[in-house]
Chain A
Amino acid sequence: MNPGVGEIEIGTPAASTAEVPAGEPLVEVRNLKKYFPVTEGILLQRTVADVKAVDDVSFEIRRGETLGLVGESGCGKTTTGRCILQLERPTSGQILYDGVDLSGLDQKALVPFRRRMQVVFQDPYSSLNPRMKIGQIIAEPMYVHGIEPNAAKRRERVAHLLSVCGLNPGFADRYPHEMSGGQRQRVGIARALAVDPEFIICDEAVSALDVSIQAQVINLLEDLREEFNLTYLFIAHDLSVVRHICHRVAVMYLGHLVEFAPTDELFDRPLHPYTRALLSAVPVPDPEVEQARKHQVVRGEVPSPINPPSGCVFHPRCPIAVDTCPLQVPALREVRPGHWVACTEVREGERPGQ
């Protein structure tokens, strides 16, 4: 067994995440591209280049599952989430939500979908309006969407949501600055739940919290999934957290999806050289094992997304690259059942580079 991989203490798979729900897809991302133009000139702006934040990404999220989206900073995982929410309009590609292409809808037509999908942000300090009380923050979505037109019932529901999220209902009269980071993040979750969504994007939702609070919030998210039949897209860079909470994991590198597999499969048998390097970078809590194990270090730096390498974007840093890698973008192939890899050099059952 490769000691660098799979021995992640906190990341022991939870019982509830052992099997992947086989349901129909709730969200389908098809050939999603998001380019941010780099412009020059003040009045007559010319586009001189594009930042290719997300470049041809496709995956689907099944009803009831938690899909992890991992990768290093700047790989486009957050942009993917924002495109699904239509906070950014995709450059091209489709976001199918329950069969409806969201990228073609205008703001008004999106409103019914806004009720069905919600988001929890990374930074609990800037994700709550500092001028509003907690109760107002949670009640506002119900008022806007007409979920609870009666003010007294709204207050009741705010109190209910606060207690569901592990907060004292008395917090409704507080301002965000009077609360701690963990408490604020729970408010963010309560706000997302206020519209009774079925799908929640957790954009690095626990990354800004300290470890003990992280564990509490993750447990809360898992409890909520069971209570409200939620589907999650869990965007993160902490692999141990992802292993604990996700059914399936998608790995992104420089705007591309490089590997997509059920969680245990991905952590036990990572196939793409980037995934292998990523998992190998997770430190092992035992210092002796940590010293003895072989680290797989990726050479060089992440290339600029303005001018990404040709073909497979990982080839300049790849330990197993061959001459054909710079020529063609590798498509995702199903190497094992449910295990997709965007690399021409890996085969089923093989451990490349060893």
Chain B
Amino acid sequence: MATTSEIRVEAAFEEFERPRWRVSGIWQFARRQPLGAAGGIIVIIMILAALFADVLAPYDPVANDFMAMSEAPSWTHPLGTDQFGRDLLSRIIYGARTALFVGFVAAFVGGTAGLILGVTSAYFGGLFDLVFQRVMDVFMAFPLVIMALAVVAILGKGTENVILAILIPFIPRCARVVRSSALSIREMPYVDAARALGYRHHRIILRHMIPNVTAPFLIMLTAFVGQAILLEASLSYLGLGVQEPTPAWGLMLQGGAEEYAESAPWMPIFPGIAISLAVFGFNLFGDAIRDTLDPRLRAR
């Protein structure tokens, strides 16, 4: 049995060790997962751009400048201007705000709903689980974009409805992944202990099961943010998402691609690059996190 003084010594040791471990942890992640680190850097740049858009953007993203319409990239407009004379760089920086807002809210709300439903389904099991899984199967049968299109068609346009349209198809996808790990958690003795102690169902689900399925959940969440950004761009491109004049990458792509692809290629190219980079960044980052957290993959 350890005496009090021994414990104090250990505690002091931990205080000394921990910060060092964290820094070296990030460094190790970057060395083992260079692509993931690159993805992480893209994600961080995007978040910074979204947060500090007011400071970073050289122009007002919705201000028209009729003296400078459809201008090619130059020193005054590094990425050129669109047909209304709006600065593309500014619109892309502000577009990051729209993309991340829709992406994070949709991924977080949809993912959390899926998390709770998936764990609940696994916890109760039996007929409830069976019926719930079949309902989820029906939702999963629709491709993401078709599902989102249907929701927007029913609810109408607007940012809130776009978020709703994106998060609904996420729920069954998240619920399914979370359920499979929750099934093994349900059999853990600490869940039996919780039942033997007479805890209510919601306490067991929220306090004892959900905290133990967060690893797969967080991985899904990063992947969802990338997918949500892509979906938002797709819906905006199709005219069903964010509405003009709000700066959004899908909208910019649509405005540029249809008429100006040949005469002013910078109009569709730069928002297209922004979309690709964002999705690429989140996917790389998510994959790397998954590989790092999965001990079976870590050994390789």
Contact = CB atoms under 8 A, between A and B. Distances in A.
Contact-residue size bin, chain A (C-beta under 8 Å from the other chain): 20 to 34
Given A111-B198, A114-B198, A115-B198, A127 B190 contact: yes
A299 interface: no
Interface in B170-205: 188-190, 192-200, 203
A167 B4 CA distance: 10
Nearest to A136: B207
B293 to A, nearest CB: 14
B197 A170 contact: no
B23 interface: no
A85 B196 contact: yes
Contacts of B190: 126-129
Interface stretch (A117-125, A265-273, A283-291, A345-353): A117-125
B195 to A, nearest CB: 6
A115 B192 CA distance: 15
Given A123-B189, A168-B7, A114 B196 contact: yes
B211 A131 contact: yes
Contacts of A132: 207, 211
Contacts of A117: 196
B1 A141 contact: no
A152 interface: no
Contact of B212 (A111, A131, A144, A188): A131
B290 interface: no
A195 interface: yes
B208 interface: yes
A128 B193 CA distance: 8
Contacts of B199: 140, 144
- Chain B binding surface SS class: helix
B55 interface: no
Interface string A51-90: 0000000000000000000000000000000100101000
A145 B1 contact: no
Interface in A100-154: 110-111, 114-115, 117-119, 121-123, 126-132, 140-141, 144-145
Contacts of B154: none
Nearest to A42: B130
A140 B199 CA distance: 9
A85 B194 CA distance: 12
Contact of A121 (B2, B193, B200): B193
Contacts of B198: 110-111, 114-115, 144-145
A191 interface: yes
Nearest to B188: A126
Given A144-B203, A166-B1, A168-B1, A127 B197 contact: no
B4 A129 contact: no
Given A144-B203, A168-B7, A114 B197 contact: yes
A4 to B, nearest CB: 35
A127 B196 contact: no
A79 B126 CA distance: 20
A166 B2 CA distance: 10
Interface in A169-211: 170, 188, 191, 195
B211 A129 contact: yes
Contacts of A167: 1
Given A130-B212, A144-B203, A119 B192 contact: yes
Contacts of B196: 85, 87, 114, 117-119
Contacts of A166: 1
A118 B193 CA distance: 8
Contacts of A114: 196-198
Nearest to B197: A141
Nearest to B10: A178
Considering the complex of A and B, which 7 residue pairs feature the smallest CB-CB distances, nearest first? Answer: A114-B198, A131-B211, A127-B189, A121-B189, A111-B198, A129-B190, A141-B197
Interface of B: 1-4, 7, 188-190, 192-200, 203, 207-208, 211-212
Given A130-B212, A131-B212, 8 more contacts: A117-B196, A121-B192, A128-B190, A144-B199, A144-B203, A145-B198, A168-B1, A191-B197
13 contacts: A82-B192, A87-B195, A118-B197, A126-B189, A127-B188, A127-B192, A131-B211, A131-B212, A140-B199, A167-B1, A168-B1, A168-B3, A168-B4
